Each structure stands twice: as C-alpha cells, then as structure tokens.
C-alpha cells in the first residue's frame, strides 16, 4: 500500500465501500454489551471485534477502513494474530480514534470542546508504528434555537485543524468529524435550522484547516447529514438527501477526496436510504460514503449474543448491513435488496 496521504485517503473512500467505526470507548462498548447481557472484558471485546474482522465477505467487499480504539489496536486475536493484521489482510486500512472525548467548555453552558491535543504528536508516532494509517477526532456541536455559540464552533474547529495538521505530519490521514448533534437537547430543531448550523460549522472548519496548512487531498470529512431533530422528525428522505448535498456543495472544497457520513441517531435503514438517494440523484465532486458504528454493528451484535456458536450468524448479519451500505455508496440500494 502506498504511504502517500492522498493514496491512503483514496483507498478509504473506494467506490462501494465504507468505514467501520469500531472505536467504542470502554464505557460505550459496555452499554452495547449490556443489551445482550454480556460482561465487557478485554477478552469479550476482542472476541466481538475479531468476529467482525474475520467476516470475510463484509471486510473484503464492503469495508475500506476500520476505526479502532487504543486497546483494539494493540490486541491479538485468539490465535495470536494482531487484529491490525486481520484488517490489513482483508484489504482494509486500519485507523485509530485519538481524541479524548467532548468535555464541558468552560464559560459556555450546554456546549463542549473535544480534548486530547496534549501529547498527540507522540501518540500519533506510536500509532503509526502499530500500523494505523488514519485517525479520527470528533468535535461535538450542540444545536437548539440558541446554540451553538460562535465560541464553541470556533474552538472545536481550531482543535480539529490542529489535530489534522499533526496527523499529516505523522503520515496519518485525518478523518475530520464535526458532528452537529441530531439527538441533542431538546432535539426539536427543524431541518432548516440544521442546514444553517451545519453550513456555518463546515465553513468555519475549512477556514481553520486552511489556516493550519492541512492538505485537503490527504483528509476525509465525516459530517452529520442535514436532518431535523430527533423529536421533530418530519422531513422526507428526499428532502434530507437534497439539503445535505446542497449544504456540502456550498462548503466542502472539491479537493477533498471523500465524505464519509456518521449515522448519528438514525435507524440502520434510514442511514442507508439517505446515503443511497444522495449517490443516485446528484453529481458530486467527491466520493460520498459511510462511516457507521452502530448502524453497521447492531444487527451482528444481536445475532452474536456473546456465544461462540452464533459467530457465523453474526458475521452474516454484519455482512448484510455492510453490503446494503456498500450498495448505498453507489446509489444502488432499495427496499427489495434490503429484504433479500
């Protein structure tokens, strides 16, 4: 695999493939395991992720990259193979979540800033040595009639830009993820409010990336879709697709090789349908694909239930979701294929 940032970024947005977000923190994976009554231990976390990374059909045909958590990047499969090597063997790019999470932003009630810049240069050098070739940092933007504030947008955009510059210095492609929360409080904003805030946030992020001398050809954007709040849902799938594409065209330079959406509070099928409508209905200068966590994993996790005898069924469920999203990344998904 070429080590040029542009080539790694292009591989991450290979047509018809997308990025598996398997970077749940220890707290998040525990919540997921609670739903199937499984204790979260280093071994159960490893078994779960190994089950996905060995799902050959899904990994080889529909997954271009995998975002890992620090623990997983260092873990070995039950037979002693490093999990990173399983990902590489499937032809996918291993990546790593590097942010320290969203923390309350001092002086700004109800808003957060993502921490983790201290010591990041040294961590990135280590992660590169462990095989990671891309990284992820998520900025979280609260939305309501009064939020976000300019201060919160600006500080999150600056942190994203500093992180991105450090990644590129280390030979690692940054996934830049400014998420305008669909399911924030009170969650009653309209799709037009989401459009305005998302446009503002993306314009600010790209201004900061430019000022930080980040090479746009060597990054991937991971934005939210333009969608109404979780407690005010009425926009049609077509409206979500049209407004999201319009917003991206107004803000994202054509030099960016690809955009990989987060699923952010949407149901599995909804996230797939929206992506497919965008790819089927519009000409765009960048590849448009997915970087889903729960929307790719939920069905497989449920089918697995923590039992070794269910591994094949779980891999099949995961492969089905990966395939559906792979079709959506080409604009070829439909309800009939979903049911099949």
Q: Is the pLDDT of residue 264 over 90?
A: no
Q: Cβ–Cβ contacts within 10 Å for residue 128, how many?
A: 17
pLDDT, tens digit (0-9, with 9 covering 90-100), for 169-181: 999 999 999 999 9
In whole angstroms, give the CA distance from residue 114 to residue 233.
28
User: What residues pair up with 102 in beta bridges, in sequence order?
Assistant: 114
**What is the predicted pLDDT for the residue at 110?**
96
Catalytic positions: 177, 222
Considering the chain, what is the average pLDDT of its residues?
97
* Model pLDDT, residue 1: 60
Token pair 């990374």 is found at 53
Average pLDDT over residues 51-57: 97
Confidence (pLDDT) at 83: 98
Could you give the percent of the chain with pLDDT greater than 90?
97
Domains and CATH numbers, the chain: 5-339 (3.20.20.70)
Mean pLDDT, rounded, for 184-201: 95
> What DSSP character marks residue 231?
T
Which pLDDT belongs to residue 158?
98
The alpha carbons of the chain give a radius of gyration, in whole angstroms, of 19
136-150, 161-175, 181-195: range with lowest mean pLDDT: 181-195
What pLDDT, on a 0 to 100 scale, did the predictor assign at position 115? Answer: 98
Which residues on neighbouring strands pair with residue 260, listed in sequence order?
289
Q: What mean pLDDT do residues 32-54 have?
A: 97
Q: Is the pLDDT of residue 276 over 90?
A: yes
Q: How far is CA 295 from CA 68, 162, 264, 317, in A?
A: 16, 29, 9, 12
184 band by pLDDT with thresholds 50, 70 and 90: confident
What average pLDDT score do residues 42-66 get? 97
Q: What is the 3-state secondary structure (H, E, C) of 71-106?
A: HHHHCECCCCCEHHHHHHHCCCEEEEECCCCEEECC
| Angle (deg, nearest 10), helices 294-304 and 26-34 | 50
Query: For 154-164, what is the mean pLDDT?
Result: 98
Q: What pLDDT is stored for residue 174 in this prediction? A: 99
pLDDT of res. 29? 97
């Amino acid at each position: 695999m070429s080590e040029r940032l542009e080539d790694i970024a292009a591989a991450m947005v290979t047509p018809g493939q997308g990025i598996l977000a398997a970077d749940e923190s220890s707290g998040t994976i525990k919540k997921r395991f609670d739903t199937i009554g499984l204790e979260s231990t280093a071994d159960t976390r490893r078994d779960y992720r190994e089950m996905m990374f060995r799902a050959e059909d899904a990994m080889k045909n529909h997954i271009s990259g995998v975002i890992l958590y620090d623990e997983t990047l260092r873990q070995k499969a039950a037979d002693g193979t490093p999990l990173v090597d399983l990902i590489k063997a499937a032809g996918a790019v291993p990546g790593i979540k590097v942010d320290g999470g969203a923390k309350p932003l001092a002086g700004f009630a109800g808003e957060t800033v993502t921490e983790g810049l201290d010591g990041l240069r040294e961590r990135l050098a280590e992660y590169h040595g462990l095989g990671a070739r891309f990284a992820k940092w998520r900025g979280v933007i609260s939305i309501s009639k009064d939020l976000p504030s300019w201060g919160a947008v600006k500080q999150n955009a600056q942190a994203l830009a500093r992180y991105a510059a450090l990644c590129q210095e280390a030979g690692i492609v940054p996934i830049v993820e400014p998420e305008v929360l669909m399911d924030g409080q009170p969650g009653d904003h309209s799709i037009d409010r989401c459009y305005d805030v998302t446009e503002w946030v993306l314009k600010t992020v790209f201004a900061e990336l430019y000022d930080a001398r980040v090479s746009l050809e060597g990054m991937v954007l991971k934005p939210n879709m333009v969608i109404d709040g979780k407690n005010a849902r009425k926009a049609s799938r077509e409206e979500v697709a049209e407004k999201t594409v319009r917003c991206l065209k107004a803000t994202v330079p054509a030099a960016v090789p690809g955009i990989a959406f987060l699923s952010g509070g949407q149901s599995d099928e909804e996230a797939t349908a929206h992506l497919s409508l965008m790819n089927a209905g519009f000409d765009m200068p960048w590849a448009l694909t997915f970087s889903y966590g729960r929307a790719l994993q939920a069905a497989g996790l449920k089918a697995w239930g923590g039992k070794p005898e269910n591994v094949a069924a779980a891999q099949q469920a995961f492969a089905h979701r990966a395939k559906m999203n792979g079709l959506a990344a080409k604009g070829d998904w439909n309800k009939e294929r979903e049911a099949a």
